[in-house]
């Protein structure tokens, strides 16, 4: 992992529970902090997105949010001014989201993506540093 992180927060809704579990089990050496849920029983994705954004330290942490499409989690997470949540469906989108937008939360759609692809996207997201430079001024404008 080329991006140094203190905590890797993860949460899902019921639709994302299996993918969330798969990502954790596939990457046991990562500093996961699982915020739930603990089963695939019905829950509301905005509650878990809010829980994760409340724990996220934007200077030291990254996060992963999983729901059916990934879109609901991204919408809710991005309401927090310290969050730059990126809905990623390819490794290239994950790489650009980190390098150009300094995204700090990866959002994934469990109903529209295969588990292995999501794992590859996660690895790309975690290995890609923010480029800074010309992108830094643009990222600052996202929080105002």
Whether 100 is a known active-site residue: answer yes
CATH topology of domain 7-141: Ribose 5-phosphate Isomerase B; Chain: A, (3.40.1400)
Read off the pLDDT band of 3 (50, 70, 90): low
What confidence tens digit (pLDDT) does each residue in 84-132 have? Answer: 999 999 999 999 999 999 999 999 999 999 999 999 999 999 999 999 8
> What ranges in 11-133 are assigned the alpha helix state H?
17-26, 45-55, 71-77, 91-101, 115-127
CA distance 123 to 64: 12
Contact 3, 59 (CB under 8 A): no
This prediction's pTM: 0.96
- Catalytic one of 14, 55, 100, 115: 100
What confidence tens digit (pLDDT) does each residue in 5-14 have? Answer: 899 999 999 9
What confidence tens digit (pLDDT) does each residue in 38-91 have? Answer: 999 999 999 999 999 999 999 999 999 999 999 999 999 999 999 999 999 999
């Amino acid at each position: 992992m080329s991006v140094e992180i203190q905590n890797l927060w993860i949460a899902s809704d019921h639709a994302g529970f299996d993918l969330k579990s798969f990502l954790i089990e596939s990457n046991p050496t990562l500093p996961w902090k699982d915020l739930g849920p603990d089963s695939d029983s019905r829950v509301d994705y905005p509650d878990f997105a809010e829980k994760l954004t409340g724990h996220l330290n934007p200077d030291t942490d990254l996060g992963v949010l999983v729901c059916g499409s990934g879109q609901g989690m991204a919408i809710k997470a991005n309401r927090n001014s310290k969050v730059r949540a990126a809905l990623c469906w390819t490794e290239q989108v994950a790489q650009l989201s980190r390098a150009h937008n300094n995204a700090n939360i990866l959002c994934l759609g469990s109903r529209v993506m295969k588990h292995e692809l999501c794992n590859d996207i996660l690895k790309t997201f975690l290995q890609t540093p923010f480029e800074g430079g010309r992108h830094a001024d643009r990222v600052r404008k996202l929080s105002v």
